[in-house]
């Protein structure tokens, strides 16, 4: 039977999501890759346990994680819960999402309809063996469904007791603001938006999404913080054959130009002077944005989780460091 580290909460920083009462770990574990069908269940379980042992209390899933076997990540997470973690359910913040293509026919394709969202949440709860999730997101903006319908569906999920809070993902500032107004009228506990964001992908700043969410008390849970691995030390000297770019497993390879590699090496020098790895500095830099509540980090092995957790040991930046980083990114 699994027994977690009794000092786990001493290893992590916890941040409030917007102006809600919910405090989650500054680093969260995203189960997008390496937790579904075809992945090693033993390694997946080890990574979840490593995360919890080191103070991570937020585990982020979606109905389609485990593609092409949609739902397999949720199924495996349910098995991990059954094998000892479920007794700690009240210490966990578990989130899932729905919005992308999930099953055949018009009711399961990419959309934000009431029928799809409510059916999908029921399926997710069954796969994980849960009565409720802590956060249920609409995964991607759907221009073909009225925002009122999507908002009302999410609101019903809370009122039915199947979700405690709701969120949205991949929504820009304009559509976030529209949803915010609807949720205000409904008094729905809308607390979070989940966008992509990294040192090399700063669209949330250009769009003004981070500023808006901070002012409105909406937290940001940001994904792809290491830009598909670019913001690690893997590509500083070339492209390893066993890397994601080397295997052709990511689209990001086209960005790894000579100029990009030079900038990455200079960023790495700044990180080294801070006593951090480049990946750790990239995570700390995101958490330096007051709108960011948590950084969603994926992993393929437990050591990567430990690296990410270590980032919280040095979150502060000097003005000179921030200026040097800005000039490079």
**Ranges of the chain whose pLDDT falls below 50:** 246
Q: How many CA atoms lie within 13 A of 173 on its CB side?
A: 14
CA atoms of 315 and 317, how far apart (whole Å): 7
Collapsing DSSP to helix, strand or coil, 128 comes out as: helix
Select from 1, 187, 21 the least CA-distant residue to 80: 1
* Residue 265: its H or E element: helix 258-274
Residue reference for tokens 């094998």: 83
Collapsing DSSP to helix, strand or coil, 297 comes out as: strand
Select from 59, 41, 63, 40 the least CA-distant residue to 51: 59
Beta carbons within 10 angstroms of residue 110's beta carbon: 14
Parallel, antiparallel or unpaired: strands 27-30 and 292-297: parallel
Q: How many residues does the chain have?
A: 329
What residues are paired with 23 via a beta bridge? 16
Beta carbons within 10 angstroms of residue 1's beta carbon: 5
Asked if 271 and 280 touch (Cβ cutoff 8 Å), the reply is yes
Asked if 148 and 182 touch (Cβ cutoff 8 Å), the reply is yes
pLDDT at 245: 56
pLDDT at 1: 82
pLDDT at 260: 86
**DSSP label at residue 109:** S
Calculate the dihedral angle through the C-alpha atoms of 83, 90, 299, 127, rounding to the nearest 10 degrees: 60
pLDDT at 169: 98
Domains of the chain: 13-230+289-313 (3.20.20.100)
Select from 220, 222, 149 the least CA-distant residue to 182: 149
CA atoms of 226 and 217, how far apart (whole Å): 25
Tokens of 31: 């189960």
CA atoms of 304 and 279, how far apart (whole Å): 10
């Amino acid at each position: 039977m699994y027994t977690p580290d009794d000092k786990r909460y001493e290893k992590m920083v916890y941040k409030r999501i917007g102006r809600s009462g919910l405090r989650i770990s500054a680093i969260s574990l995203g189960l997008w890759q390496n937790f579904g069908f075809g992945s090693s269940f033993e390694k997946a379980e080890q990574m979840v346990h490593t995360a919890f042992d080191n103070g991570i209390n937020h585990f982020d899933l979606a109905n389609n994680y485990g593609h092409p076997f949609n739902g397999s990540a949720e199924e495996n997470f349910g098995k991990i819960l059954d094998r000892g973690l479920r007794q700690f359910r009240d210490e966990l913040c578990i989130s899932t999402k729905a919005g992308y293509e999930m099953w055949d026919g018009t009711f399961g394709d990419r959309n934000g309809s009431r029928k799809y969202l409510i059916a999908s949440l029921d399926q997710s709860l069954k796969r994980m063996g849960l009565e409720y999730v802590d956060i249920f997101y609409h995964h991607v903006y759907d221009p073909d469904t009225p925002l009122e319908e999507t908002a009302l569906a999410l609101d019903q999920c809370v009122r039915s007791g199947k979700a405690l809070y709701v969120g949205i993902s991949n929504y820009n500032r304009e559509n976030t603001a529209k949803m915010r107004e609807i949720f205000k009228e409904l008094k729905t506990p809308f607390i979070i938006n989940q966008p992509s964001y990294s040192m090399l992908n700063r669209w949330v700043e250009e769009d003004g999404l981070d500023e808006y969410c901070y002012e409105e008390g909406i937290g940001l849970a940001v994904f792809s913080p290491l830009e598909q691995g670019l913001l690690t030390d893997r590509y500083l000297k070339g492209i390893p054959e066993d890397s994601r770019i080397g295997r052709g497993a990511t689209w990001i390879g086209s960005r790894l130009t000579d100029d990009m590699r030079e900038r990455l090496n200079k960023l790495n020098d700044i990180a080294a002077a801070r006593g951090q790895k480049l990946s750790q500095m990239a995570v700390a830099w995101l958490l330096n944005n007051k709108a960011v509540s948590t950084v969603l980090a994926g992993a393929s092995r437990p050591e990567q989780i430990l690296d990410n957790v270590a980032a919280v040991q040095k979150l502060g930046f000097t003005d000179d460091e921030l200026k040097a980083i800005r000039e490079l990114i």
